Structures are given as C-alpha cells and as structure tokens.
Amino acid sequence: MKVILTTDVAKLGQRGSLVEVSEGYARNYLLPRGLALEATAGRMKELDQEKQRREKKESQDLENARRQAARLDGAVVKITTRAGEMGKLFGSVTNKEIAEAIKNTFHIALDRRKIDLKEPIKALGGYEVTLKLHPTVQAHLRVQVVAEER
C-alpha cells in the first residue's frame, strides 16, 4: 500500500515522502496514529504542489542569502562600548550586539544565531566574524570595536 508520510518516521522516511508499506502496517499503525495518509490521486497532486511551493521558497531564500552576502562580505561594522585603560572591555561584545549593529548600519535583520563568533570579544580592535546566511552561503564581516568617549 502506498502512503504519504505526514511526519518523519524513523527507518521509513521523511515528512511528505511517498513510501510503499504493507497494508497491515499502514492500517494498524500509520493511519490511526496520523503518521501517514493513504496515497490517493488528489493527495498525490497536493504533494506535488507542496513540493513545488517548498522548492520555490528554498530558491527565494537562497537568492536572498546571496544578495545579503554580497552586501555584507568584507564590510565593516563599528561597535562602540565601554572599555578600561588597557583596552579591555567591561563585559564583552556578543552576537546580539553584532546583529543590532548590522541592522542599524545595513538595515538587514539578521538572526543572532547566524553569526559565528569563535569566542566573545573582550578587547578593543578589529575582529573577523563569519555569517552563515544559508547552508551554502557564508559571508565574512569585519567588526571594529572602539572605546566609548568619556
């Protein structure tokens, strides 16, 4: 019996995939638990439309990430913070502060989890930061940390 999975099922397949299973397994386990739907002609058409929508969205996300990478790659973001006499910061510069600086400078809303910061920035100076905009698209941003005027 052919079924369309509605959720990921271990050792069987991912959500939205069409799989062939025994009739008893489908009738007694998958269908009653809502893990799958019987593969009818109408549902197959819906599955194809859903795949097309997903592919279109993924291509738009990739194109958007490439545009952002072109704007941000090699750019410099300046962050002003309080610092001690030897250039040591009071606290540290985090992903969140870098994301806010990117938003203020380039008007690009970027999730802080996409900023790959090897270790927290705890001193004045310039730092190289990697932005993971998409699984296949990365950009390198320069962060310049300067002391706040007293």
**pLDDT greater than 80 at residue 100:** yes
DSSP secondary structure letter of residue 28: I
Q: What is the mean predicted confidence (pLDDT) over 83-98? A: 90
**pLDDT greater than 90 at residue 87:** no
* CATH H superfamily, domain 2-61: Ribosomal protein L9, N-terminal domain (3.40.5.10)
CATH of 68-147, one of 3.20.20.70, 3.40.50.720, 3.30.950.10, 3.10.430.100: 3.10.430.100
**pLDDT greater than 80 at residue 150:** no
Pairing of strands 137-147, 125-134: antiparallel
> Residue 90, CB half-sphere, CA atoms under 13 Å: how many?
8
